[in-house]
Structure 1
């Protein structure tokens, strides 16, 4: 059987993380506890999670993982931090373009230690936008890394331009395409995602807030007087199955765990793993998505029909929860994501 294939298309950032007892009020200056500069970006985080999820042992990787994105040319942070972290996690960087017309994206993250590691994030897109607006070039790089005769998984988020995302979704959701799309709409575009773009998506992974925002795509199918914010996962998921033809819906619920639902009728809830102390929640969602995508890619590589994944979905969600629990007990984003042999 060929190894599972995963291509992650998305953002690469340098994270500037400040740890503080509390966030300052307007006009207030506080003394913070520490500053850390680390590799990040939702795309890169999820690529690292996929890579690390594929290591059952330090010298044994069972999946092929590649990153598609853009950074600033001659950026010392990419050369010294981002690329080594990706490659050290088993992720190919051949699809990362270095551009002279923009800087590497960055994120300023404030972690509030008094609030169980909750974070606030400001993002400067940089090359994640200017380097990802040529869809044909992005597709060419992706197809060059996916073996056309094999089924693979393409993992996509919301930190690249919306127009690019919509065209990529249309391409990978086409029945003629052999790739399965795993879409994590984070952050959700203010203009939303039109219903036709979701049609055929294999996996739609969201947190509670994103799930409510994404219901704008299916707003025409809400009953009169029905408020999306008041719907529970059992009511939200069928909207995406029935009206957007999404096969698998995942809704992460923070410390409570994760809900899963398939178009073929498998539904359930997996509680979160026990955590002694939450240190930093920054990459927990990305860890969950990457671990689940890797489990899904292993299934896809078998060539079995998609409905047969129903038998495996609960164990995949539980494993992803366990990885996310390991992540939140460490500081930082990318560096906090555990390898499979650590959990």
Structure 2
């Protein structure tokens, strides 16, 4: 049996997080509660979640996790925050390129404490775009880290052209790896059906699921507006028109819905939460924990359809991890290790 392996391809950011009783109106200056500077980026967040999900104990890591991305060369935040957090979570950083004359990506996050920890985010791509603009170069890096049979996790914070090229490669039936695609954010131009076709796992929140239906919209005759469709009505569209094997739709505090191309469907309620502090990395935590469960299954060499027997348990654990995440401040630092939940 091949060792379980995950490769996360995506963004690495420095997060500047401001906590405020409420968001200021236009032209208003408001005294906020606090400022925190921390490691972030959806790619890096999900890599940390994959890594921490694979620790059955403090000394036992069940899945090998690697990160591929780009940062600014000699960036003190990378050396002091990003790399130590990744490596401390069991993530290899050998696939991260340091770019001269480029800045590390950044995110300015406003956390509205008066609205239950809801957040607003401004993203500056930096090296996430300039260093990730060549799909062939990224694929060469996957070969350098000896990715053979495993799980590849991708999001929407690197260039669209690179993302599409990588999706077509990893979704090719000849490829032995399985792609988990989290379209966050959803590209304005959408995802062509040719790139989405055959994706192993499409993981979205409710808003992303509605936006992503535009990818298959030309094939549909809907009796009602897409945004009015329920998760159990949206998911089959991706199975039928894009042959997506597994569709996951997270529903915030309500839980998560899953559907497989073989016909298994289910709703898993969220885990109990005493107090929501910060929702920043909840979705990334969910994706990372699900990816870790899938990677362990893929390593057995069994057909993906066999994961139907484990999917409910995998979603339950991902929900529990996400619930642990929202009760802490920050992005990466709020993601729990598996032995903590």
- Tell me the TM-score normalised to structure 1 length: 0.98
Question: 1:1-343 maps to which residues of 2 (within 5 A)?
Answer: 1-148=1-148, 151-343=149-341
C-alpha distance in structure 2 between counterparts of 1:152 and 1:105, whole Å: 27
Q: Is the 8 A contact 1:169 1:181 kept in 2?
A: yes
**TM-superposed deviation, 1:163:** 0.3
State the secondary structure of the residue aligned to 2:266.
Answer: strand
C-alpha distance in structure 1 between counterparts of 2:187 and 2:2, whole Å: 36
Q: Is the 8 A contact 2:7 2:147 kept in 1?
A: no
Q: Which runs of 5+ in 2 are unaligned?
A: none
Deviations 1:251-300 (A, max 9, x none): 00000000000000110000000000000000000000000011001100
**TM-superposed deviation, 1:145:** 1.6
**TM-superposed deviation, 1:143:** 1.9
Q: 1:128 to 1:309 in 2, by over 3 A?
A: same
C-alpha distance in structure 1 between counterparts of 2:76 and 2:222, whole Å: 55
Q: Is the 8 A contact 1:195 1:217 kept in 2?
A: yes
State the secondary structure of the residue aligned to 2:216.
Answer: helix
C-alpha distance in structure 1 between counterparts of 2:147 and 2:121, whole Å: 36
Deviations 1:170-216 (A, max 9, x none): 00001111110000000000000011111110000000000000000
**TM-superposed deviation, 1:156:** 0.5
C-alpha distance in structure 2 between counterparts of 1:224 and 1:70, whole Å: 41
C-alpha distance in structure 2 between counterparts of 1:210 and 1:287, whole Å: 17
C-alpha distance in structure 2 between counterparts of 1:236 and 1:152, whole Å: 28
- The number of aligned residues is 341
Q: Is the 8 A contact 2:16 2:106 kept in 1?
A: yes
Deviations 1:218-276 (A, max 9, x none): 10232244311011011101100010010000000000000000000110000000000
C-alpha distance in structure 1 between counterparts of 2:220 and 2:241, whole Å: 11
Q: Is the 8 A contact 1:15 1:107 kept in 2?
A: yes
Q: Is the 8 A contact 1:67 1:96 kept in 2?
A: yes
Q: Which runs of 5+ in 1 are unaligned?
A: none
**TM-superposed deviation, 1:147:** 4.1
State the secondary structure of the residue aligned to 1:70.
Answer: strand
C-alpha distance in structure 1 between counterparts of 2:266 and 2:175, whole Å: 30
Q: Is the 8 A contact 1:7 1:145 kept in 2?
A: no
**TM-superposed deviation, 1:134:** 1.5
- Tell me the TM-score normalised to structure 2 length: 0.99
